[in-house]
Amino acid sequence: MIIKTQVVIPSLVRVKPGAIDRLGLYLKREGHTKAMVVVSQGMIPEYLDRVRRGMGEQGVSCIDWIEIGEASFETATKLFTNVRKETSAMIGLGGGKALDVAKYVAFLGRLPYYAVPTSLSNDGFSSPQSSLTVAGRRKSLAAALPSAVVVDLDVCKDAPRPLWLSGIGDLASKLTAIFDWKLAFHQVGEPVDDFAALLSDATVHQFLARPSFDLEGAQLLASSLMFNGIAMEICGSSRPASGSEHLISHALDATSARPRLHGLQVGVATYLMSLVQENQSERIDGLFNETGFWRQIESDPFSRAEWRSAIEIAPTIKDDFYTILSQDGAQAEAISLLDRDERLKACFGP
Amino acid sequence: MIIKTQVVIPSLVRVKPGAIDRLGLYLKREGHTKAMVVVSQGMIPEYLDRVRRGMGEQGVSCIDWIEIGEASFETATKLFTNVRKETSAMIGLGGGKALDVAKYVAFLGRLPYYAVPTSLSNDGFSSPQSSLTVAGRRKSLAAALPSAVVVDLDVCKDAPRPLWLSGIGDLASKLTAIFDWKLAFHQVGEPVDDFAALLSDATVHQFLARPSFDLEGAQLLASSLMFNGIAMEICGSSRPASGSEHLISHALDATSARPRLHGLQVGVATYLMSLVQENQSERIDGLFNETGFWRQIESDPFSRAEWRSAIEIAPTIKDDFYTILSQDGAQAEAISLLDRDERLKACFGP
Amino acid sequence: MIIKTQVVIPSLVRVKPGAIDRLGLYLKREGHTKAMVVVSQGMIPEYLDRVRRGMGEQGVSCIDWIEIGEASFETATKLFTNVRKETSAMIGLGGGKALDVAKYVAFLGRLPYYAVPTSLSNDGFSSPQSSLTVAGRRKSLAAALPSAVVVDLDVCKDAPRPLWLSGIGDLASKLTAIFDWKLAFHQVGEPVDDFAALLSDATVHQFLARPSFDLEGAQLLASSLMFNGIAMEICGSSRPASGSEHLISHALDATSARPRLHGLQVGVATYLMSLVQENQSERIDGLFNETGFWRQIESDPFSRAEWRSAIEIAPTIKDDFYTILSQDGAQAEAISLLDRDERLKACFGP
Amino acid sequence: MIIKTQVVIPSLVRVKPGAIDRLGLYLKREGHTKAMVVVSQGMIPEYLDRVRRGMGEQGVSCIDWIEIGEASFETATKLFTNVRKETSAMIGLGGGKALDVAKYVAFLGRLPYYAVPTSLSNDGFSSPQSSLTVAGRRKSLAAALPSAVVVDLDVCKDAPRPLWLSGIGDLASKLTAIFDWKLAFHQVGEPVDDFAALLSDATVHQFLARPSFDLEGAQLLASSLMFNGIAMEICGSSRPASGSEHLISHALDATSARPRLHGLQVGVATYLMSLVQENQSERIDGLFNETGFWRQIESDPFSRAEWRSAIEIAPTIKDDFYTILSQDGAQAEAISLLDRDERLKACFGP
């Protein structure tokens, strides 16, 4: 007997220009002829056509084609109850919400899940959780990694710049997350997985070494985000990808009048926490400067009052999760930096 | 780094008289102070009191106490959305429906799940699936094994006789299930897991050797059913526990005007299929005779018409699942046995 | 990617009369055409012929045929350096020594290993260790479970009675081993695996329920010993199979002028420790009485002086291994029982 | 019960200047107070002193201190038989031979193994195999990954240049290895693990982006080689690290009058095979040019006759291992390139 205890990591990974045209081929090769597709509302029609054509040419029929505008547990379970018996694969196509819903429906039904992001705005396309609202409150629900990741670099390269920048912000957060993890080791003995930390670090530096908005930049960003999502699954913890900066972003999601893109919030919080941590702030500042991240934030500044409140709420967001914000004075320091640091001052309205 | 890929099998197993009084203690020892309890509608009040008292004495508070009358996916997901944040353990107390719902809610929320069956009517209390209706149709949904199994032998000993007999019928079905599995190997090359088959076989014979309705009988039945549920998880397939006899029972669930207890249906189907398989029919007959299983069935006979129809539907229930019923003539043989075999004749009304 | 972390448990298990005639067939089916065979010195020629004939008929050639008289690490590594490149399977045929050597050579070379015991004198045929001498001292070296277990019940049924009784003694030891495990939990917090303990218990009772020296007895003994060996692998500890009674036997192996069969030593030590534990002594006595185990021991009694010394050495054999012998007074009690208990008195010469 | 099936990947990883001074501290923290140390013959005395001093200050005693001049299975098993009972950790300190022997002794004895390379000449310091001679023939024996990897960047930075260049050659080989893997997929259907391939690729490019012989270069090379060794363990195959270029190097090891450093042979073979594959030859040439790899080879050229013969033997080295050399004409093409390509011409004497 073989006891089956496999960590299933995406077995099909295609990161290249034109990948969405070949999605049908990838499905066909794995023996799928009937798929359910969940797409983002407002998706560019050309992309839909290309996916449809590719599937058609390979004889893969799309037995359901669902547009998703919001990512809720209730929507996902409703969809699950309607999955047709003959469905053999689930496809998530588009942005975070469509992908989170598709991932969760596939998880409930134990269906192979193909993640096909059209932008690289965060690491969710290859993470083992789904971010869904449950009874109106956003939660991160346990799910499974996709069995296939298909990233069309041409498509992602042409994604709106704010989405790119969001992905860059999410990637930068690994630097403060790893710092918080090591801090938790020294302060409360939480075990650090050296290898996962190293992998997480390495993936960031890969992109940092040459940030650009061309095909090569998209490739580096895609693989960096993907390794990161997978690192979480491998070590069974969100620690390699998420620290105090994510707590602030979660707090904003719960309280802000108008939450922004995940990675934009996270990126600013990363810079802020790096100052409190005294950890690579210049490097982060340089990256944000070079890529236009700062300009993006300045063009639509955050509310200083909301951030003050978010910093206060942040440490209560997760139980037993030590970060720099658990230390005396760290919250006060962070709040005062909103008014003192030149970069940050430009990021906030009243 | 340690890559976490553990098959988690119940780590706490208590099979003894008075176990429900100690449930609070078991929770406390594992560090749980706030639990949600899902109980069967109509549960004997004394049992509820004993569980409550035991929890109270240990300072474990029950933050939700839910009565369940039907086991549906919709009920389970609704409950999940209402799980309070401070809940650290989920308890299923009573019969199959309460346990299936509790197991699924715990699975969605990644909560430790304590299965506390008050009867031994089938192997569901330690299986990795939940049997729930989805949009009105009964399905077996992927979930996880309980992290704790607490069987109070006194309570189970005093369970109504039909529930006992249902458990015995479900246990007997392993004999025909294993036969079907080996048949599938010889006919279509489906790999048989010798070890799982042997474990499944061994557990049945343990009870067959001394079937009785006393404490020892309850202990043997409980451990036999439990090993069986776990065998499925270990080998990643329902094959060691389910063959053609289960297909017939599933067909009855979907079509019968009044489906009976799972194990009563399964037990009769087991005897029927054993005749078609020419496999240990006398042994099964002897067990059913000695334990009063036949008398129970005769006291409330099945509908012959419904069974004829169920035998016809059975092979279509699962895709790619070869059993004796996949063979030419087997269905006709089974149908004719309903009228020819003396034992079976007594089991059916018109 | 699929991270491969499988616990490989024997995938081919054949426990039936005439199995050695079919060994060639089993090898052939798995694609092996060239095997190395390690056999016990003095093996009954008929058995060798039958294995050879079966292999020949299936076109499986035996490219090396090694006779083993002693089980040492040095012999095993020497054999390993001589394994021919084309060898695709390793067979151990006969008694414990041949099987331990074959298992270890297979482990070093990552070859599929077929265990073909000709008696059931202990649980080594399906355990994940090899008992070998290293520089003259017996040790239990980490190896792997066999990939196939082939037990010819006719052959094992005809094995000399002392070998049978040794197997029965080894099986009985699970009762004291489980007791010691639970004791270690209560005294020093060593975690007990309830499920493994239950499986270990269940396998003993299966045989206890009907001990006999016929085909059915051989079948029960074989499967009980096999489940036990596998339980160790599954829970990653020798605890379900080995407690204070094994420590005494190990001490005897290291110091006795003439060590006896493993299970004979272990059986007597089991009865002795059960008295100290006040744990099921009558049950064990009954089993040993009924099967002639006591008569066997009495026909060739142990040295009382050696046992006294072994009991004194026993607690030092393994580090961090709490048993009843770790308790104050337990050793003295055990030693005095050698002179006081009627059963034991008959087991010892001066 | 938790079934233990973990892939153990180094849980302690320290890659930084001065790490060897802290080895004692790392041992102490994990609870080790008695270690066995296997060191390379001719190791720089200062390094030995620093390790000894660090261990002494932490109260970790070195109970055996073994110098190793050759890496044979026979030496390793001999050492194993002499491991003292109280040894709780094994340390390999120095070059490949010492590390291969220490790794194997630790594997046989299930001891935690600390790999402390003093140069980065290949990926063996974090691979799951040991390269040992067995009866005089070099083989790659199954072992386990180290539980700790301690790389002192200052020490590795100061390693002789040829060792550095060997590491660079070994790293470059991933480019041709991945190509061969994908070729094997298209030609004979061998499954490619996209993720492992991507990880392997990513690690090479990390170093390619900035090859240098300073601390940062050492860090990049160390982590690249380490991820690579680990990728093999994770996907259970040597494919991500080894293709046709390694076959040629293995053939040279078996036949050459004077085999060179593993990575020097592999590097030249990598460039050669990249020409046959028409795969990134310029990139490899650029790397070898920039780092002085070519100059190193030219200073001590290979024997053209030996390489011709090695290319002919290469495809027979491993069974069922498809590479570009399995294709018609590929060997002839490779042999002719030795005389035609300008770079290669300079690498060979007669």
Q: What's the burial of A299, exposed, middle or buried (CB within 10 Å: 0-12/13-18/19+)?
A: exposed
Tens-digit pLDDT profile for residues C96-115? 999 999 999 999 998 999 99
- Partner residue facing B81 (CB), from A73, A194, A195: A73
Which residues, 6 or more positions from D319, have their beta carbon under 8 angstroms from its beta carbon?
Answer: none
pLDDT band at A5 (very low <50, low <70, confident <90, very high): very low
So what's the pLDDT on residue A9? Answer: 63
How far is the alpha carbon of A311 from chain D, nearest alpha carbon, in Å?
33
Answer yes or no: are the C-beta atoms of A310 and A248 closer than 8 Å: yes
More confident site: D210 or D334: D334
**Cα angle at A300 between A295 and A304, to 5 degrees?**
105
So what's the pLDDT on residue A128? Answer: 86
* pLDDT over 60 at C137, yes or no: yes
pLDDT band at A205 (very low <50, low <70, confident <90, very high): confident
Domains of chain D: 12-157 (3.40.50.1970), 161-345 (1.20.1090.10)
* pLDDT over 90 at C330, yes or no: yes
Instruction: Identify the weakest region by mean pLDDT among A6-15, A246-255, B283-292, D218-227.
Output: A6-15
Residues 186-205 of A with CB under 8 A from B: 193-196
Structure-token pair, residue C231:
């339980």
Tens-digit pLDDT profile for residues A158-168? 999 999 999 99
Tell me the pLDDT of chain B (350 aa) as tens digits.
Answer: 234 344 456 778 899 999 999 999 999 998 999 999 999 999 999 999 999 999 999 999 998 999 999 999 999 999 999 999 899 999 999 999 999 999 999 999 989 999 999 999 999 998 888 999 998 888 889 898 898 999 999 999 999 999 999 999 999 999 999 999 999 999 998 888 777 777 777 778 778 877 899 998 998 899 889 888 777 776 778 888 899 999 999 999 999 999 999 999 999 999 999 999 999 999 999 999 999 999 999 999 999 999 999 999 999 998 889 999 999 999 999 999 999 999 999 999 87
So what's the pLDDT on residue B3? Answer: 40
* pLDDT over 80 at A1, yes or no: no
Please judge whether B5 and D9 are an interchain contact, meaning their C-beta atoms are less than 8 angstroms apart.
Answer: no
- Partner residue facing A234 (CB), from B3, B108, B234: B3
Please judge whether B11 and D5 are an interchain contact, meaning their C-beta atoms are less than 8 angstroms apart.
Answer: no
So what's the pLDDT on residue D8? Answer: 52
* Mean pLDDT over the full length of chain D: 91
Tens-digit pLDDT profile for residues C161-213? 999 999 999 999 999 999 999 999 999 988 887 777 777 777 787 788 778 99
Closest chain C residue to B230, measured at CA: C195
Tell me the mean pLDDT in the region D308-333.
95
Tell me how far apart the alpha carbons of residues D347 and B147 are, in angstroms, rounded to a whole number: 64
* Mean pLDDT over the full length of chain C: 91
**Beta bridge partner(s), residue A37:** A65, A91
Calculate what percentage of chain C has a pLDDT beyond 90: 73
Residues of B in contact with D7 (CB under 8 A): 2-3, 5
So what's the pLDDT on residue D119? Answer: 96
So what's the pLDDT on residue B193? Answer: 77
Q: Which of B3, B34, B129 to mutate to test the interface with A (most CBs of A within 10 A)?
A: B3
The DSSP 8-state label assigned to residue C72 in this structure reads: B
So what's the pLDDT on residue D191? Answer: 82
B9 touches chain A (CB under 8 A): no
Phi and psi based region of residue A64 (left: phi greater than 0; alpha: psi -120 to 50; beta: remaining): beta
pLDDT band at C314 (very low <50, low <70, confident <90, very high): very high
So what's the pLDDT on residue C1? Answer: 29
Tens-digit pLDDT profile for residues D121-141? 999 998 888 999 998 888 889
How far is the alpha carbon of D195 from chain A, nearest alpha carbon, in Å?
7
So what's the pLDDT on residue C9? Answer: 63
Tell me how far apart the alpha carbons of residues B26 and B13 are, in angstroms, rounded to a whole number: 10
Q: Find out whether A246 is annotated in a ligand binding site.
A: yes
Residues of C in contact with A2 (CB under 8 A): 6-9, 11
Answer yes or no: are the C-beta atoms of D234 and D288 closer than 8 Å: no
* Mean pLDDT over the full length of chain A: 91
More confident site: D85 or B206: D85
- Partner residue facing A194 (CB), from D11, D194, D209: D11
Q: Distance from CA of residue C324 to its chain's centroid?
A: 22
Structure-token pair, residue C334:
């055990």
* pLDDT over 50 at C340, yes or no: yes
Tell me the mean pLDDT in the region A103-114.
94
Please judge whether D202 and A227 are an interchain contact, meaning their C-beta atoms are less than 8 angstroms apart.
Answer: yes
Tell me how far apart the alpha carbons of residues A30 and A121 are, in angstroms, rounded to a whole number: 28
Q: Which chains touch D (3 or more CB pairs under 8 A)?
A: A, B, C
Closest chain A residue to C4, measured at CA: A6
So what's the pLDDT on residue B8? Answer: 52
Which residues, 6 or more positions from A20, have their beta carbon under 8 angstroms from its beta carbon?
Answer: A47, A50, A51, A54, A93, A116, A150, A152, A155
